[in-house]
Structure 1
């Protein structure tokens, strides 16, 4: 009979293992010595030790699920409880019990981690929903659309919640995207309608612009082109594929008209510049009539100059006031000379002037007498008032006397 600290073999070849609950039969050995039997069952024990060690390492260092870990522990425990090995089975049971505690701790840790992840995922999805609902009211169609697509990708990368919560949040998220898509579709449909209306309006404007391009009614047509341009700007943009072509036609029609007008105006400017030169020469000829010494001759000479003046066409607008002003100055001088001659030779006017002068002289003499009388009486206030009246009558008398002199005496 052979023995070992953890087992023995009796004379019948039966192998026992020692445990805290007493000896347990391991098995029967008939193929060799008792030492060989113990060595065989001790190797089987070492196999369990290795298996437990590997399981401990997997539990501590890998993401082995609690369910799989517990199944592996139960499988090893069945082998330990079967007593088919020789060794410290109680120590293995202690290690297995600690491993169960570790698996349970990992289970709780993962449960807490999953709860935390779920909570984080809930908050993340709620934030996505809130942003999507805000974006659903945006009019920044391109930026908001791109952001909503990015939110979908973010959503897909988040873990699922419980079905009820996940479905409710997804429904809100999806509804926000649908609301934005509906608004965007309506906007672009309305925009398409507006652009189609703009296209029709611009087609009409182009037709009118092309019809006016050969007009020679320069002022009216130029004004109408300005009105057409205002209408063009107010019409808004047509579809991209039509806008450039319509504008090129519209602008081209204007260019034809304004190029023709510029050509005509250039010819007219050249002609008017020559007219200005001629009128300046006539103005110089008229100015030589001043000062007027022979009214009759001056009047005849000015009439001749004026006839030639009228025969000349327009001059440039900015030069017109100056050259016409020179002629008007000569004309006024002749008119003033005629008026002076008429006053000098008109008997009725002379009589009226003499009568007026006599009346004013009498009034002045009377006022002087009244002033002297008021001074003598010491009534200075009345004298001052009469003096002011005398000053006014004296000024009129001086003017009348000057007029009378024009009649020659």
Structure 2
């Protein structure tokens, strides 16, 4: 008979395994020695150990489903309970018990991870929906449209929620996108209508501009072209290609007219250069009258210059402003001298100035007398008040005297 801590072989070749409940027959051996029999059944035991270790590794390192893991454990438990093997079968059972606890723990951890992932996914999808609903009211069509398309990709990358929650959020998301699309479509339809209206309006402006391009009524036609330009600006923009084509025609018609007008004016200006020279000579004569000393003589001389000025005729357009500006400057200086002379010699104004000066002189004298009395009485507050009042009246008197002096200048 051969013996081992976990089993033995009796004289008839029967092999036993020792358990907590006593010995159990696991087989018989007739082909060799008892030691070989024990070695064979130990290898059976080692095979069970390997299977348990493999299952333990799968549970620890993979997301093996609880159901599948428990099925494998029960299969191994049956194999251990009915094992034809020699070894510590109780230890194997305890490892399987520990593995059951580990499976349940891993399952709970997996459920917790799934719950967290679902919560995070819900929050992320709610943020996507909230942003989409804000964008639904945007008028920044390109930026908002691009962002909504990006949000669709974001949504697709997020885990699914429970069906009810996922459907509700998707409905809101889809509604926001649909709202934006309808608003954008309506906007551009309205814009197309406005552009078509602008095209028709500008087509009429082009037709009138082209009808005017050969006109020789230079002043009236130039004015009408300026009016047409203002109408063009207020008409709005047509579609790009139509806008460019209409503008080219509109501008071309104006160019024809203004080039013809400029050619005529250039020829006319060449004829007016002699007039410019003559008027510039008169300007030298007029400017020599300043400053005005003898108003009567200056007035007569300027009247003579004006008569000769009118006889000369027009000057070139590019010189008109400068030439006329110099003459007007002399005219203003003479007019100012006339006004100054009238103010100086106006008897009514002089009388009013003299009367005001006399009144102020009397008022100043009265204030001085009252001030002397207040000082003598030692009334400090009254002295202070009268001094301020006297200073104001004296300043007014000084101004009145200067005004009166102008009448005797």
TM-score (norm 1): 0.69
Q: What is the aligned partner in structure 1 of residue 62 from structure 2?
A: 62
Query: Is 2:110 the counterpart of 1:117?
Result: no
Quick check: 1:89 aligned with 2:89? yes
1:1-400 equivalence runs, <5 A: 1-277=1-277, 310=311, 313-316=313-316, 317-318=320-321, 319=323
Q: Secondary structure at the match of 1:18?
A: strand
* Equivalenced residues, count: 309
Shift of 1:116: 0.8
Q: Distance in 2 between matches of 1:8 and 1:278?
A: 148
Q: Please give the per-residue CA displacement for 1:95-146, whole angstroms capped at 9, x wherever unaligned.
A: 1111111111010011011111111111111111111111101101111111
Conserved 8 A contact 1:17-1:83: no
Give the superposition deviation at 1:6. 0.8
CA distance in 2, matches of 1:129, 1:97: 47
Do the aligned partners of 1:275 and 1:314 also contact (CA within 8 Å) in 2?
Answer: yes
What's the secondary structure of 2:154's corresponding residue? Answer: helix
CA distance in 2, matches of 1:197, 1:308: 53
Query: How far apart in 2 are the matches of 1:50 and 1:324?
Result: 119
Shift, 1:8, TM fit: 1.5
Aligned mates of 2:55, 2:248 — CA distance in 1: 82
Comparing 27-36 with 235-244, greater Cα deviation is found at: 27-36
Q: Distance in 2 between matches of 1:284 and 1:161?
A: 96
Show the counterpart of 1:288. Answer: none
- For the 8 Å contact 2:209–2:254, the answer to whether it is kept is yes
SS of the equivalent of 1:56 reads helix
Q: Deviations over 1:146-171 (max 9, x none)?
A: 11111111111111111111111111
C-alpha change, 1:35 and 1:267, in structure 2 (3 Å) is same
**Could you tell me which residue of structure 1 aligns to residue 295 of structure 2?**
none
On the 8 A contact 1:19/1:90 being kept in 2, the answer is yes
Write the distance in 2 (CA, Å) between the matches of 1:117 and 1:245.
60
CA distance in 2, matches of 1:324, 1:116: 89
Deviation of 1:315 (Å): 2.8
Q: 1:377 maps to what in 2?
A: none
Structure 1 residues 235 and 75: CA distance shift in structure 2, 3 A: same
SS in 1 for 2:46: helix
Q: Which has the larger radius of gyration?
A: 1
**TM-score of the superposed pair, with normalisation by structure 2:** 0.69
Distance 1:100 1:322, change over 3 A: closer
Gaps of 5+ in 2: 286-303, 331-409
> Is the 1:25–1:83 Cα contact (8 Å) retained in structure 2?
no
Structure 1 residue 251: deviation in Å?
Answer: 1.5
What corresponds to 1:406 in structure 2? none
Q: 1:325 to 1:144 in 2, by over 3 A?
A: closer
Cα distance in 1, alignment partners of residues 128 and 63 from structure 2: 30
Distance 1:283 1:18, change over 3 A: closer
Could you tell me how far apart the structure 1 residues matched to 2:152 and 2:282 are? 89
2:283/2:326 contact within 8 Å kept: no
Superimposed CA distance per residue, residues 11-68 of structure 1 (whole angstroms, 9 cap, x where no aligned partner): 3322211111111221232322222121111111111112212222222222323233
By how many angstroms is 1:252 displaced?
1.7
